[in-house]
Copies of this chain bind each other. A is one copy, B any other.
Amino acid sequence: MAPHPVVELTSEASWNLIEDKFSPYGKETLAKLVAFLQDEIVPSVKLAHAQIPKDPVERWKTVIPVIEELKVKAQKLGLWNLFLSKAHYPEHGVPLTNIEYAVMAEILGRGGHMASEAVNCSAPDTGNMEVLARYGSPEQQKKWLIPLLNGEIRSSFSMTERFVSSSDARNIRTSIKREGDEIVVNGHKWWISNAGDPRTKLHLVMGKSDPNNSDGYRQQSVVIVPADAPGVKVIRAMEVFGYDDAPEGHCEVIYDNVRVPLSNLVLGWGRGFEIIQGRLGPGRIHHCMRSIGAASAALDLMISRVTNPTRKTFGKYLYEHGTVIADIAKSRAEIESSRLLVLSAALQIDKYKAKGALKEIGIAKFVVPAMACGVVDRAMQAFGAEGLSQDQELASMFAGLRTLRLADGPDAVHIQQVGQRELKRATGLAKRAAELEKKEAVVMQKASIKAHL
C-alpha cells in the first residue's frame, strides 16, 4: 500500500519520524481513512449542510441522511471507533495506538466534525464510550455502550453548569440524591453537546451526591439519565459566534426532579471526579490533532486563493502583495511544530498513559488550538469578506477551534499547570548548581585564579 496519500495530507518529515511506530494494520487503516476522507466524506460535506433545514424548529429534528449513509460505508470498511485503543479497552477497542489514532484524527480534522461522526469518533460520544467501557456495569454496557459503539444512538456529557464556574468540580450545584431505589437529579446545566440531537438517548450527568464530604473531590457522582426521562428539559441551544450547530447543539438543560433507577449510577457513589479525570486525557490530544487537520486545510485553502489568477489585484497575484508569503511560511512552521508536539504527547500516552503525559498534553492543549485559530485567521484575511461567510468553511472552523481554547480547561489552566510543573525542577536544579559551583571552585583554584566575589 502506497504511503503517498498519507504523506501528502500530513507531512513527510513528521511521517518519517513516526513511521516505525505504526503497525501494518495502522498503516493500512490510515491509507483507507485517507481515501475515504477524500473520496466520500469531503465531497459530502456540502450536501450534509444543505440537508439541515433552516427552519428554527425543524433543524433540531433532523437526522442528516448523507451522514447516515457514510456511517454505513465506514463501518463496512472497518473505519469505525478508531479512537478506542485495544491496549486500554481490550474488549471493545481496535488495535490502534494513540500515536496511530492521532495521525488519523488529524486526517479527520480536515473534514470538519462531520468526518468524525461518519467514523463514529465524535465527541462527546467518544469520551462517553470510554467511560462506559471502563466503568460501566455489564447491564449499562449492554443497554447504552453497545448501541453507541454501533453508532445507533448518541449521547451527552452533562457537566458544565450555568451561573457557576464548574471547571472547579467543587462548585457544582446539581444534586444527585438517592431516594429509595431511585436516584433523583436536579440541576441546571448548559453547553451540553448533542443534547439537541434526536438520536441522543442518554446523558451522563455529573452532580453532587455528598456535598458535605470533607474531601471536595469525593462529593460528586455520575449517573445515566435517559434523554427522554420526565423532567429532562432542553431549554435552548447555545450559539457559538452565531452558529447553533444543529442538530447536535450545545444546549441548556434543566433536570427537574428527574428520577432514574439506582442501577444507573456509574462506578459508585462519590466517584464522579475520578470518572471525569479518566475521561479527559487522550481526548484532549485528539481535539488538538483535529485542530492541526483544520489548520492544514485552512492553509491549503489560503494557498489556493492567493495563487488564483482570477483574484489578481493591481496586476499581481495576491501572494505577491504584502506579507502573504511570510504568513504562509509562518503558518506552515506553526503547523509542523504543533503536529510534532501532539505526536510526541500521543507517544507519551502510549508509553505512560495519560497520567504520565500530563506535561506533553498540557503543552499541546494550550499551544495547538490557539495556533490553529491564528492560521485560520490568516486564511480568512486572504479570502476577504468571503472568508468570514458561509461560502467558506473558515469562519465556522474558527468558531469551533476558538471553543477548544476553553473546552476541557481554558488555556490559562494548562499554562499554569505546565509552569508549575517546571517549577518543581527547581530543587534538582539547585542541587546541580551547588555541585557546579564546587567543581568550578576546584578548577579555579587549581589554576590559581581568584573568582570575583
Contacts and interface: CB of A to CB of B under 8 A. Distances in A.
A452 to B, nearest CB: 7
Contacts of A191: 385
A277 interface: no
A332 B319 CA distance: 24
A66 interface: yes
Interface in A398-412: 398-399, 402-403, 405-407, 410-412
Interface residues of A, number: 127
A343 B17 contact: yes
Nearest to A171: B313
A375 to B, nearest CB: 12
A114 to B, nearest CB: 13
Interface stretch (A80-88, A176-184, A437-445): A437-445
Contact of A403 (B325, B345, B359, B388): B388
B410 A381 contact: yes
Interface string A370-389: 00000000001100110011
A2 interface: no
A38 to B, nearest CB: 8
Most buried by B among A191, A321, A325, A407: A325
Given A39-B439, A307-B423, A429-B300, A348 B13 contact: yes
Nearest to A244: B242
A241 B416 CA distance: 31
Contacts of A236: 452
Given A242-B395, A322-B326, 4 more contacts: A13-B357, A51-B447, A303-B425, A325-B415
